[in-house]
Amino acid sequence: MISEPGATALLFLGIGGLLAASAVLSRASQRLSVPLALLFLGIGVAAGSEGIGRIPFDDYQFAFRAGSAALVLILFDGGLKTPLSAIRRVAAPAAVLGTIGVAGTGLLVALFAWLLGLQWAPALLLGAVVSSTDAAAVFSVLRGSGTTIDHKLSATLEVESGLNDPMAVILTTVLTENLLGTGALSLSSIVLEVVQHIVIGGIAGLAVGYGTLRALARYRLPAGGLYPVLTLGAALLAFAIPTLLHGSGFLGVYVAAVVLGSGRLPYRASLLRMHDALAWFSQVAMFLMLGLLVYPTHLLAVAPVGLILALLLAFVARPAVVALCLLPFRYRPRAVAYLGWVGLRGAVPIILAVFPVLMRAPGAEWLFNVVFFIVVVNSIIPGATVPWVTRRLGLATEAPRAPQAVLEIESHLELNAELLGFTIDEALPAAGEMISALPFPEGAAVAMIVRGRELIAPKGSTRLEPGDHVYVITTHDDRGLVELLFGHFADE
């Protein structure tokens, strides 16, 4: 046995090495157009008890708690970045996909599992566990290929992903209780349970979000570093309160984050950057931990069933359900096909598969291995094809180059103006024009121009060129007029 502090140092050595390797190797994952989650899972498996690292880890309870905490931070970060305008634009179709779509996908997967010989109760549970999607996995692949999609499609994926996790959690909980014989499975009871979780989660999320905004507006904290502490506390409260009231904690987190993100936050840029870092850390740590939890030899035993279900999920269940759900809405056929194909699975199914193991449900460990296999296969098919499909369907737009330098304003006070960043496109009215020739509102002015590696101090004679990154100071009232000249704010 190694004594302290050597034992702690050895633990930190292992954790630090895994985190560093995951971050460094993430570039290779992007080049291969494979979701980063698959890379992190692979590193975890390689470091596990049957891999080269030989790290023993089979604590399902710790994995469930740590995974839940990570999902709270990831959902909170996603909600902060989701503007209300995007939610309003796609609220109805995203809500249908996040509720009816989840139930329909789960039911189809359950039917396929039943046809393969599984009993109905565990088949329904398996379908519920793998029913939710992960928009972050899609966007990580797209970013790696330098490709973007239009705002409506990206907003649909983002909002659906935020809404379908709570639905999958609710169904998994109810169906696990049914498998254990502690709950009666009926359509009415499931519907009532879902409605209860959604209502309580939504109300609690709104209360925490608006309450936090009021606190931020009313009280000035003694140090800038305390503001992230407050928002982190809000994220945990938004999960804990509705969960204790038998509501959806994950929905509460997402709603609270959207409310906060739509408000005026002090030190906004720093807060968003901190939560982005926390979300990335959570994602890496969660997938590494889940990789450590699995035994590759056990995966081989479920490979035939897992492969068949993964292919049926990708090629039949998800596309069919998406097509039916989007029938009442005005989506082009190729957009419907795209949304049906890119419904990648992330960490949520694996975390949910841990729950039946903790509850000692019959066949739970077999189900966990099948779910893990489905997530891995789904990361490759359709995961690796996302950029190709995006271009093939004519839905790709080239992502604008990131500026070499970023200008930000940090303040705990509510200022009467804001700093906006824009990328000059050839089609914009401002492209090729001198600053003095542009019809700026009275309360607006160009503060800085980033051109490649050059920082340019703007003058009236400075001509704006396509590809320039322009930072404009404007009052809140004049923002709309500025966007007519320069397009949408680059951070949206």
Q: What percent of the chain has pLDDT over 70?
A: 91
Strand, coil or helix: 403: coil
CA distance 170 to 185: 13
CA distance 431 to 464: 6
pTM (global) more than 0.85? no
Q: Are 71 and 347 in contact (CB under 8 A)?
A: yes
- Both structure tokens of 360: 């000692």
Q: How far is CA 25 from the centre of its chain?
A: 21
CA distance 468 to 452: 8
Q: Are 132 and 162 in contact (CB under 8 A)?
A: no
- Both structure tokens of 293: 């939890």
Element (DSSP H or E) covering residue 240: helix 226-244
Amino acid letter, residue 103: A
> What does each C-alpha distance from 238 to 153, 191, 253, 395 come to in angstroms?
28, 23, 5, 36
Question: Bridge partners of 420?
Answer: 472
Q: Are 339 and 331 in contact (CB under 8 A)?
A: yes
Which pLDDT value is given to residue 143? 62
- Domains annotated for the chain, with CATH where assigned, are 39-398 (1.20.1530.20), 417-486 (3.30.70.1450)
- Both structure tokens of 450: 């980033």
Strand, coil or helix: 417: strand
Which pLDDT value is given to residue 111? 95
Mean pLDDT (whole number) for 215-229: 86
With a cut of 70, say whether residue 28 has pLDDT above it. no
pLDDT single digits (tens) 424-479: 888 787 888 888 888 888 888 898 999 888 888 898 889 988 888 899 998 888 88
- Per-residue HEC secondary structure of 267-301 comes to CHHHHHHHHHHHHHHHHHHHHHHHHHHCCHHHHHH
With a cut of 80, say whether residue 218 has pLDDT above it. yes
Mean pLDDT (whole number) for 32-45: 75
Per the model's pLDDT, the better-predicted residue between 298 and 410 turns out to be: 298
Which pLDDT value is given to residue 41? 82
pLDDT single digits (tens) 95-147: 899 889 999 999 999 999 999 999 888 899 999 999 988 766 676 666 655 66
Which pLDDT value is given to residue 116? 93
CA distance 25 to 438: 45
Strand, coil or helix: 317: helix
* 119 backbone dihedrals φ, ψ, rounded to 5°: -70, 160
- Both structure tokens of 7: 């034992």
CA distance 281 to 15: 12
* 471 backbone dihedrals φ, ψ, rounded to 5°: -110, 125
Contacts of 152 (CB under 8 A, 6+ apart): 89, 90, 335
Which pLDDT value is given to residue 401? 64
Q: Are 452 and 400 in contact (CB under 8 A)?
A: no
With a cut of 90, say whether residue 390 has pLDDT above it. no
Least confident of 40-44, 61-65, 175-179, 330-334: 175-179
* pLDDT band at 84; cut points 50, 70, 90: confident
Which pLDDT value is given to residue 492? 44
What is the average pLDDT score of the chain? 84
Closest CA to 213 of 265, 140, 163, 168: 265
Place of tokens 């994950």: 250
CA distance 72 to 77: 9
pLDDT single digits (tens) 360-379: 888 888 999 999 899 888 87
Q: Which of 33-42, 90-99, 187-196 has the highest mean pLDDT?
A: 90-99
**Long-range Cβ pairs for the range 272-281 (8 Å, 24+):** 272/80, 272/81, 274/228, 275/73, 275/76, 275/77, 275/80, 275/228, 275/231, 275/232, 276/77, 278/73, 278/77, 278/232, 279/73, 279/74, 279/76, 279/77, 279/78, 281/19
With a cut of 90, say whether residue 223 has pLDDT above it. no
- Both structure tokens of 412: 């705990």
**Long-range Cβ pairs for the range 444-450 (8 Å, 24+):** 444/472, 444/473, 444/474, 444/475, 444/478, 444/481, 444/482, 445/472, 445/473, 445/474, 446/470, 446/471, 446/472, 447/407, 447/419, 447/471, 447/472, 447/473, 448/407, 450/403, 450/404, 450/405
CA distance 318 to 336: 11
CA distance 45 to 186: 39
Burial track 32-49 (b if 16+ CB lie within 10 A, e otherwise)? ebbbbbbbbbbbbbbbbb
Which pLDDT value is given to residue 182? 54
